[in-house]
Amino acid sequence: MPYFDAASAAPLHPVARQALLAALDEGWADPARLYREGRRARLLLDAAREAAAEAVGCRPDELVFTSSGTRALHDGIAGALAGRRRTGRHLVVSAVEHSAVLHAAAALEADGGSVTEVEVGRTGRVDPAAYAAALRPDTALAALQSANHEVGTEQPVTEVAEACRAAGVPLLVDAAQSLGWGPVAPSWSLLTASAHKWGGPSGVGLLAVRKGVRFAARGPADEREWGRAPGFPDLPAIVAAAASLRAVRAEAAAEDARLRALVERVRTRVPELVPDVEVVGDPVRRLPHLVTFSCLYVDGETLLHALDREGFSVSSGSSCTSSTLEPSHVLRAMGVLSEGNVRVSLPRGASAEEVEDFLGVLPGVVAAVREQLGAPTGASDAAATSEELVVDSLGKRCPIPVIELAKVIGDVPVGGLVTVLSDDEAARLDIPAWCGMRGHSYEGERPAERGVAYTVRRRA
């Protein structure tokens, strides 16, 4: 049964499993203790730290193990901000960071600090010049992911780091999605990662802080991990995380090439096989294993369930929960279609056969969902009935507003207007995206008595 959601959580790597089992026997004691079980645990912890630091590209005493990537981000951002509080309370992030970064930014704003979100282009890539322009004299910290978790686009970390260096601002790089594939260019000041993204166990994040970077850990004092990650360390998981990072790195070059070709196949074939699809994300500067596309006239959750019934596990929309109904902040920042969004992220070892099976199943699944939702199948052959039409989609969830728009566009003449009334936030993204895909003009939005009125001019 193909599992294609490695970007959420990768299945445990065999080396991780083996190391975990060994460390359950050897590493359960408190590494701070003086007796033999404690000394043995300390040796394992030290060795894991050295191995992880080598893979990260830092000194062992710059690296601590946290309980998750989210904790590494929350605590890393808070500590870096506190360490430079005298400089100011301004944080720069890209608009497509992981929600853990954006939540930390929101916490800063709630506490009286300020945040600049640097916009991205349609591929999800941040412009280094725009990022540099956001840096201010009171900027305490800048954060940028190494690669995007939803669309796979690599960020220009080296260029942004250079701008940060010139401005004297430390740069935190969230390397959660990329660390298993290779080290981040060494220009970062802080770096975070998450073991279960590379095939390590859950329960382990990494937080590296370069010597010389001002850092003041927040929260109550604690003796563990130099005060940067409180609580008894989960040593078996840490040992497994370090061992598996080393193992996946050894396989990375070969697996990168193999999966990159499979993803390229998906990027090429999906638009050929499924009508009205937009493949998003940078086609070249991208993670090897991840591809995202959006299908017009399709509801993402329904599509996921349908693919699940066919045996394919993929993800959609927002990266963090299944319960979020809002469109993904990443797709919104990119200005691309969000409806019918599918993220395919191949785990190591995914086979060409599994990918072909997926490509074989996808067109029928999308067609069935579209039929079920009553999506238009071609150009309307009705004669134009009016110069201007209003479609009331109030109370209807995405993709219904776009489907209803598509159904009536043929009812106005070329140059005529259709206005869609919608109270679904996704319409703000998807109606302009539909116009772009269909060659119509998006004329803008205005508040309506209920919801928002989106106006489209028929061009073809």
Tell me how far, at minimum, the Cβ of 8 lies from a second copy, in Å. 5
What are the CA-CA distances from residue 422 to residues 89, 113, 388, 425, 426 (Å)?
38, 34, 17, 8, 9
Least distance between a second copy and beta carbon 181 (Å)? 19
Judged by CB under 8 A, does residue 202 bind a second copy? yes
Stretch that binds a second copy, among 64-72, 248-256, 389-397, 419-427 (CB under 8 A): 64-72
Q: Is 34 in the site for a second copy (CB under 8 A)?
A: yes
Give the catalytic positions in this structure.
320
Task: Out of 116, 145, 189, 315, name the contact with a second copy by CB under 8 A.
Answer: 315
CA atoms of 234 and 226, how far apart (whole Å)? 15
Nearer to a second copy, 397 or 457 (CB): 397
**Using the rule CB under 8 A, is 112 a contact of a second copy?**
no
| Closest distance of CB 126 from a second copy, Å | 21
Distance CA 311, CA 414 (A): 44
223 vs 449, beta carbon nearer a second copy: 223
For residue 275, state whether it binds a second copy (rule: CB under 8 A).
no
Residue from 314, 346, 400, 403 touching a second copy (CB under 8 A): that is 314
Kindly tell me which residue out of 47, 51, 279, 320 binds a second copy, with binding defined by CB under 8 A.
Answer: 320
Largest Cα span, the chain: 87
Residue 83 binds a second copy, judged by CB under 8 A: no
Short-list 50, 52, 48, CA closest to 23: 48
CB of 436 to a second copy, least distance (A): 29
Side by side, the strands of the sheet bearing 388-392 are: 388-392, 417-422, 452-457, 441-447
Q: Check: CB of residue 193 under 8 Å from CB of residue 176.
A: yes
Residue among 128, 127, 102, 129 at smallest CA distance from 116: 102
Instruction: By CB under 8 A, name the one of 59, 103, 122, 269 that touches a second copy.
Output: 103
List 35, 112, 381, 383, residue binding a second copy (CB under 8 A): 35
Give the whole-angstrom CA distance, residue 215 versus residue 148.
Answer: 26
Query: Which of 18, 68, 114, 441 is the binder for a second copy (CB under 8 A)?
Result: 68
Per CB under 8 A, does 26 bind a second copy?
no
Among 106, 129, 254, 352, binds a second copy (CB under 8 A): 106
Q: Are 234 and 202 in contact (CB under 8 A)?
A: no
Of 130-138, 160-168, 224-232, 277-285, which segment contacts a second copy by CB under 8 A? 224-232
Segment contacting a second copy by CB under 8 A, of 15-23, 80-88, 146-154, 451-459: 15-23
Query: For a second copy, which residue of 137, 168, 186, 219 counts as binding (CB under 8 A)?
Result: 219
Q: Which stretch binds a second copy (CB under 8 A): 27-35, 116-124, 286-294, 334-342?
A: 27-35
Is 185 in contact with 157 (CB distance < 8 Å)? yes
Strands (E), 266-310: 277-280, 290-295
Contact (CB, 8 A) for 20 and 201: yes
Cβ distance to a second copy smaller for residue 110 or 383: 110
**Among 370, 369, 360, which Cα is nearest to 406's?**
370
Residue 60 host element (H or E): none
Q: Please say which residue, 167 or 320, places its beta carbon nearer to a second copy.
A: 320
Question: Does 236 contact a second copy by CB under 8 A?
Answer: yes
Q: Which is nearer to a second copy, 68 or 187 (CB)?
A: 68
Distance CA 369, CA 355 (A): 21
Least separation in angstroms between residue 204's CB and a second copy is 8
# binding residues, a second copy (CB under 8 A): 68
Which residue matches tokens 């493949």? 279
Q: For residues 101 and 73, what is the distance between their CA atoms, to the nearest angstrom? A: 6
For residue 175, how many C-alpha atoms fall within 13 Å in the half-sphere facing its CB?
30
- Beta carbons within 8 Å of 19's beta carbon, 6+ residues apart: 239, 240, 242, 243, 244
Binder of a second copy out of 322, 351, 377, 380 (CB under 8 A): 322
Among 88, 230, 283, 363, binds a second copy (CB under 8 A): 230
- Report how far residue 422's alpha carbon sits from residue 445's, in angstroms, rounded to the nearest whole number: 10
Q: Does 288 bind a second copy (CB under 8 A)?
A: no
State how beta strands 139-145 and 441-447 pair: unpaired
Separation in Å, CA 207 to CA 57, 122, 176, 385: 12, 30, 11, 62
Closest separation in Å from C-beta 47 to a second copy: 17
| Chain positions contacting a second copy, by CB under 8 A | 1, 3, 5, 8-12, 17, 20-21, 24, 28-30, 32-38, 67-71, 74, 78, 100, 103-104, 106-107, 194, 196, 201-203, 205, 219-224, 230-237, 301, 304-305, 307-308, 312-315, 320-324
